[in-house]
Amino acid sequence: MALDGVQGQSPWWDRAAQRTEGLRPTSSAPRPGVADYAAGIIARNRAVLARAITLVESRRPEHAAMAAELIALLMPHTGRAIRVGVTGVPGAGKSALIEALGSWLTARGHRVAVLAVDPSSTRSGGSLLGDKTRMTRLSADPNAFIRPSPSGLVLGGAARTTRETIKLCEAAGYDVVLIETVGVGQSEVAVADMTDFLLVLMLAGAGDELQGLKRGLLERADMIAITKADGDNVAACRRAAAQYGFAMHLLREPGEAEPPVVMCSALEGTGLDRLWQVISGRQAERERTGALADRRARQDTVWMWSLVDQQIRARLAAGDRLGQTAAEIERQVRDGTLSPVRGAESIIGALGLPGCP
């Protein structure tokens, strides 16, 4: 089946644009199918990529089925990008550094996709999604694509569909994918299960630099970057780099390579070449030894089980008899008439699975 629509016609996204007034599509605008989405993505059409990500993020059952088919169709076109997770303490300048590094990379011929994850409100479920407005220069770069997404109350610093979005960006020809997480936390290390390289950004001169660090995060970090190393802050950054370097030396097992600690400045653009030298060098070494293939194979199994968890939760939240049963059990636990343990056993039993031990 051809991916570019009916022979002799222009691509569906061009026909859709011709039928669109402003930002509101008319009723005659074509409705794309899975093959249409795939064709647009492979053709590196940014608008189609954005629509495909929206499709993947949708919770509607019919959209989920299309998204699963789309990902399967595009899998042969994925896997060629360097996936970098970027996390850091609040105020470390994640967005500023990503914009500086992204612009540095596009100037050298790379195509960069930035997936910026914003925390969702536990009260309303909404997100500000303001990262794109903070990266004005990179937003205007034709070789860059920025997509802010809500975390959806998912732990681990990433969004519910970050893995799928990475695949779509790779199929669209982006050879560097930067994932900006919601911030450092105990569960932040989960982002390492979907990236090739974990970059941790830290500040100097903010009190005890090691106080707020999580051991699990440091053990998974591939590099620590001390940001805002400019002006009068350079001396403090050097002291912080020495502290972090000593901490990484203590945490590493004998024989393990110690992640480098570097200084950089998004304001002055310094240290960006060193950042990329370490990232690309580590990627090349892992490709040579086969460690990259092993890492991604493990990530695919983690992805599979996360989808199992999501689908079970979605099944329990449905409005059918099973969903109503789950809601009633939840009400009983909330009212104190049923213990959480018994409630979990009841839900598992309603799913037709063996009960808890």
**pLDDT value of position 25:** 47
Nearest alpha-carbon partner for 225 in 273, 156, 177, 157: 273
* 141-165 mean pLDDT: 73
**pLDDT value of position 219:** 74
End-to-end CA distance of the chain: 50
Does the structure show a pLDDT above 90 at 305? no
| Distance (Å, whole) CA 100 – CA 63 | 35
**pLDDT value of position 71:** 95
- The alpha helices in 109-184, defined as continuous H runs, are 131-134, 136-139, 162-171
Q: Which residue has the higher pLDDT, 125 or 115?
A: 115
Residue range 53-106, pLDDT digits in tens: 999 988 888 898 999 999 999 999 999 999 999 988 778 889 999 999 999 999
112 belongs to a structural domain: yes
Do 122 and 53 lie in one domain? The reply is no
Q: Partners of 177 in the beta sheet?
A: 83, 113
346 belongs to a structural domain: yes
Which of 77, 111, 146 represents a domain boundary (last residue)?
A: 77
Do 157 and 52 lie in one domain? The reply is no
DSSP class per residue in 260-285: PEEE-BTTTTBTHHHHHHHHHHHHHH
Do 54 and 199 lie in one domain? The reply is no
**pLDDT value of position 251:** 73
Helix (H/G/I), strand (E/B), else coil: 338: coil
Place of tokens 């009212």: 335
Do 131 and 37 lie in one domain? The reply is no
Domain count, the chain: 3
**pLDDT value of position 182:** 67
**pLDDT value of position 9:** 53
43 belongs to a structural domain: yes
Which of 240, 265, 289 represents a domain boundary (last residue)?
A: 289
**Structural domain for 46, as ranges:** 32-77
Confidence at 308, pLDDT banded by 50, 70, 90: confident
DSSP class per residue in 62-99: HHHHHHHHHHHHHGGG-S-SEEEEEEESTTS-HHHHHH
**pLDDT value of position 6:** 41
Widest distance between CA atoms in the chain: 67
Do 102 and 195 lie in one domain? The reply is yes
Does the structure show a pLDDT above 90 at 214? no
Lowest-pLDDT range of 114-128, 241-255, 302-316: 114-128
5 belongs to a structural domain: no
Does the structure show a pLDDT above 60 at 213? no
**pLDDT value of position 125:** 41
* 301-316 mean pLDDT: 85
Do 187 and 323 lie in one domain? The reply is no
* 191-220 mean pLDDT: 73
Residue range 29-57, pLDDT digits in tens: 567 899 999 999 999 999 999 999 999 98
Does the structure show a pLDDT above 70 at 226? yes
- Mean pLDDT across the chain: 81
| Distance (Å, whole) CA 46 – CA 59 | 22
- The alpha helices in 230-271, defined as continuous H runs, are 234-251
Which of 29-33, 222-226, 247-251 holds the top average pLDDT?
222-226
Do 137 and 178 lie in one domain? The reply is yes
**pLDDT value of position 14:** 60
| Distance (Å, whole) CA 87 – CA 199 | 6
| Distance (Å, whole) CA 113 – CA 134 | 15
DSSP state of 171: H
9 belongs to a structural domain: no
Contacts of 206 (CB under 8 A, 6+ apart): 89, 91
**pLDDT value of position 15:** 56
Nearest alpha-carbon partner for 97 in 213, 237, 235, 202: 202
DSSP element (H, E) containing 49: helix 46-57
**pLDDT value of position 237:** 93
Q: What letter represents residue 163's amino acid?
A: R
| Distance (Å, whole) CA 78 – CA 237 | 38
Nearest alpha-carbon partner for 326 in 314, 310, 308, 311: 314
Do 243 and 120 lie in one domain? The reply is yes
Tokens (6 digits) for 349: 């039993």
**pLDDT value of position 132:** 52
Place of tokens 């795939």: 38
Do 196 and 278 lie in one domain? The reply is yes
Residue 127's φ and ψ, nearest 5 degrees, are -135, 155
Do 44 and 131 lie in one domain? The reply is no
Does the structure show a pLDDT above 60 at 1? no
Do 210 and 331 lie in one domain? The reply is no
